[in-house]
Structure 1
Amino acid sequence: MSSREDETLAQAAVTALTEQLALAPKPGLPDPRDLGARVRCRDHDSLRWSARALAPGLAAMAAAARRTGEPTPQLRAELGAIGRSTEHSVGLAGGGHRGALCVLGFLVAAAALEPRAGWQDVAFAAKKLAAFNDKGAPRRPSRGSSISAKYGAAGARGEARAGFPHVRRAFDALAAARSAGATETQARLDALLTVMSTLQDTELLYTAGPLGLRQVQAGARAVLDAGGTATEAGAAALTALDADLQARAWSPRGSAGLLAGALFLDSLPVGSRAAATA
C-alpha cells in the first residue's frame, strides 16, 4: 500500500492536471468555456472526471519508486506496468490524459525518489528513469510513437528522456511572468504558450501536419512577442490564435500535459524549489 507521502504526491499531480483543465482561455484546448457549449460540455466534464482516476496509479508509482530507492531498469518496468493499468482505469472513467500520465508519472516517481530535492533535481531523476527501456511495453507502436518516428518529434517519452526541457521552460516562464506582475492565470497562460512556441507536438503533427504545427508555434510566439497575455496586444493575439485553432479543430494537447508537469513541480515545497535554483 502507498504511504501518505505517496498519496500526497499523487494528489498534487492530479490537482496540477485539473488546474490546467480549469485554465482559460486556452487556445485550441478544453477549458471551462466548453461548459457553455452543448457540443463540448460533455468532453470537458469527462476530462475533469477522468483526471481523478489517475490518482491511484500515480500513488502506486510513487510507492514503487520510494520502495526501490533509485532509478533501475526494474523500477522502469514496474512504472510501465502501473501506467498501462492506469490507462485502462482512466479509459473506463472517460478517457484522455495519456500524455499527461506519462509526464506526471515520471515526475511523481522522481519526486518520490528525491523527496527533499529541488524541482531541477526531480527533473533530472525523471530523466534517469526514462533512460531505461520499458521492457513490458507493447511491441505494436502507438499513434504517438508512430508520429514521433515519422517526423523526428520527441513525444512525451522523448521529453522525459531529455529531462523535460519544455516543463523546465514552462516553470521559468511562470516565474518570469509572476515577477513582472502578471496574474496567476496570465502567468500560466504564458507558460503554456512558451511550450507551444517550440514543442513538436505530436497531436498537432497528426492533425495539422508540419505546416500546421509551425503555424501554431508562430501564433504562440506572436502572443509572447507582444508582451504576453498580461498586455492588451498579447491578449488580442491570444484571442486570434484561439479562434483560429478552434475553427481548424487543432489541439496542442502535448503542450497541455507538459504545463501540468510544470504546475506539479511548482507545487513542490517552496524551500526545495528555492534551494535548487540558488
Structure 2
Amino acid sequence: MRSLSHAQVRIEGWRAAVTPAPHYTQKRRDARNSLAFCRMLARLALRSLHQELVLYPKPGLVSPVDNGSHEDMDAGTFMRSLFSLRHYFFQIAQAGTQGAPFRRLQELAIAAEARMLRATGGVNTHRGAIFALGMLCAAGAWCHARKMPLTDAAIRAALLIRWGDALARHTRVGPSPEAQSHGQRVAAAHAVGGAREEGALGFPSVFEVALPRLRQTLAQGRGWREAKVDALFALMGHISDTNVYHRGGAGGAELVRARSAAFLAAGGTADAHWQERALACHRLFSQRRLSPGGAADLLAAACLVQQICAVMAA
C-alpha cells in the first residue's frame, strides 16, 4: 500500500476540509432552487394582474381602453399599484416555503396594502388581489418546498391544510365595524360572502368556476383572451361581488348576474358576435357605475394558478 508524503497528507486534508459534505451541498442546491421558484411565482403573480388589467372588453372595469365605472383610477393607477407589489409576492412565497403562520402572511399583506395606497394616492386598486394571489403564492411555495406536484388540486389542498383553520377564524372574527372595509360592511349588510369567506373555503370560485371555464375555452381552440373573458363572465354570474353591492345594491348585483348568465347562455366567446355583446354589457355597467372588482381579482387568481400548473407541467 502506497504511503503518502507529508505534503500529500496536507493536501488531502485541505481537500477534505474545503469540500462540502453531500448533504450540505444538497441543502444549498435546494435553497437556490427555492429562491428561484419564489421569484418565478412573484413574476407570474404580477403577470396575472397585468393580464387582468389589459383585458378588454371587461364590463365596468378599468383597462387601457377606458376607465369603465371609475373616475378615481385609470390604467396608470393600476400600473403604479403593480409596481408597488413587486417584492410582496416574492416575500409571501418565501414565507409559504417556510410554512409561516397565517399571522406572518397577514403582516406581509398589510404592509403591501400600505405600499399600494401610497403608490396610488389612497386608491384601492388591488386589496382583494393582494389577499387572494398572496395566499396562492404561499400555498404554491409550500407545495414546492415539500416536493408535492404543482397541480391546482394540490395548491388548494395546501392552502386549506396549512392555513385553513386560521382563515376560518379570520372570517369569523374580523375587524371592528369602524375598521371594516367597504367590502366587509357590504357583506355584513347584505348577508353575502366576501374575499374572507372565499379564502376560508379555499377559493371555490377560482378552482370550481373560473379555472374550469378558462380550460374549457382553451380546449375548444380559442385563445387566452377569450378564455379570460369567459372566465370573467362565469365569475360575475356566480359570485356575490361586494364591489357591485357597494355601488349598486341588491338590484345592481342581480343585473350583473343576469347579464353575465345571458352572455354565457348565448355561447360566450364561441358566439360570432361575442365582442359586441360584451361591449354592450361594458357600456351598461359603466353607465350604472357597477364595477365587479371582486370578479376581476378572482380572474387574476385563476390566471395565476393556470400559469403555475402550465409552467410546472412543461
TM-score for both structures, normalised by structure 2: 0.78
Question: Does 2:50 correspond to 1:18?
Answer: yes
Residue 21 of structure 2 corresponds to none
Deviations 1:54-86 (A, max 9, x none): 121221111111123xxxxx6100011111101
Is 137-146 or 211-220 further displaced after alignment?
A: 137-146
Residues 105 and 44 of structure 1: is their aligned pair in 2 closer, same or farther, counting only changes over 3 Å?
same
CA distance in 2, matches of 1:62, 1:8: 10
- For residue 239 of structure 1, report the CA deviation from its aligned partner: 2.1
Aligned amino acid, residue 246 of structure 2: Y
Q: CA deviation at 1:130?
A: 4.2
Q: Which residue of 2 aligns with 1:266?
A: 306
Cα distance in 1 between the residues matched to 2:201 and 2:140: 17
Q: How many residues are aligned here?
A: 267
Equivalent residue for 2:116? 90
In 2: Cα distance, 1:17 partner to 1:231 partner = 27
In structure 2, distance between residues paired with 1:170 and 1:47 = 22
Q: Give the structure 1 partner of residue 254 of structure 2.
A: 214
The CA deviation string for residues 64-119 of structure 1, in whole angstroms up to 9 with x for no partner, is 11123xxxxx6100011111101011111114100111110110000011113311
Bigger drift between 173-182 and 193-202 goes to: 173-182
Contact 2:63 / 2:74 at 8 angstroms: preserved in 1?
Answer: no
- The alpha-carbon deviation at position 120 of structure 1 amounts to 1.7
> What RMSD, in angstroms, separates the aligned Cα atoms of the two structures?
2.5
1:185 pairs with one of 221, 225, 229: 225
Structure-to-structure mapping, 1:36-75, within 5 angstroms:
43-68=74-99, 75=101
Whole-angstrom CA distance in 1 between matches of 2:72 and 2:249: 27
8 Å Cα contact 1:228/1:235 also seen in 2: no
CA distance in 1 between counterparts of 2:313 and 2:235 reads 20
Shift of 1:137: 7.1
Task: Say if 1:203 and 1:254, in contact at 8 Å, map to a contact too.
Answer: yes
The 2-side partners of 1:41 and 1:200 are apart by 23
Report which of the two structures shows the higher radius of gyration computed on alpha carbons: 2
Percent identity of the aligned residues? 29
Go from structure 1 to structure 2 and tell me whether the alpha carbon gap of 1:154 and 1:117 turns closer, same or farther (over 3 Å shift).
Answer: same
Whether 1:256 and 2:285 are equivalent positions in the alignment is no
Partner Cα separation in structure 2 for residue 173 and residue 211 of structure 1: 26
* 1:125-140 equivalence runs, <5 A: 125-128=158-161, 129-132=163-166, 133-134=169-170, 139=176, 140=179
Structure 1: state its 5+ residue gaps.
69-73
SS of equivalent to 1:55:
coil
C-alpha separation in 2, matches of 1:268 and 1:258: 15
